[in-house]
């Protein structure tokens, strides 16, 4: 399954959990998180702790395989973000 969004990840986790025959509470207990946290993950909440997500994937036996999408402009976007951040830092240094 291709995971490109938080919603995609939510579907993947939910399907793996139900395939394992676990409730949200059982998955939460195995991962040492709250059931509410699992609910948020399965709803596709975008702001969620990455380390815990990786723990959940490991418990579910899901391995990640990342590939660069040649169709994306991720390199240009990264350069733009870095330039912007560098400019902000330089501006802050001038003020002090």
Give the count of domains, the chain.
1
Distance set, CA 2 to CA 14, 19, 65, 93 (Å): 15, 18, 10, 43
Residue 94's pLDDT is: 46
pTM: 0.70
pLDDT, residue 95, reads: 44
Question: Tens-digit pLDDT profile for the chain (96 aa)?
Answer: 889 899 999 999 999 999 999 999 999 999 999 999 999 999 999 999 999 999 999 999 999 888 877 766 555 666 666 776 665 555 554 444
Domain membership flag for residue 10: yes
Residue 53 included in any domain: yes
* 84 domain residue, yes or no: yes
Residue entry with tokens 């709803």: 43
Output the domain CATH number for residue 29. Answer: 1.10.260.40
Structural domain includes residue 1? no
Q: 72: domain range?
A: 6-95
């Amino acid at each position: 399954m291709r995971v490109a969004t938080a919603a995609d990840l939510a579907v993947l986790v939910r399907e793996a959990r139900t395939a394992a025959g676990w409730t949200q509470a059982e998955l939460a207990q195995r991962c040492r998180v709250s059931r509410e946290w699992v609910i948020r993950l399965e709803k596709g909440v975008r702001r969620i702790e990455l380390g815990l997500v990786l723990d959940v994937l490991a418990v579910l036996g899901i391995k990640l395989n990342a590939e660069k999408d040649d169709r994306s402009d991720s390199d240009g976007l990264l350069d733009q973000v870095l330039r912007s951040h560098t400019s902000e830092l330089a501006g802050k240094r001038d003020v002090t």
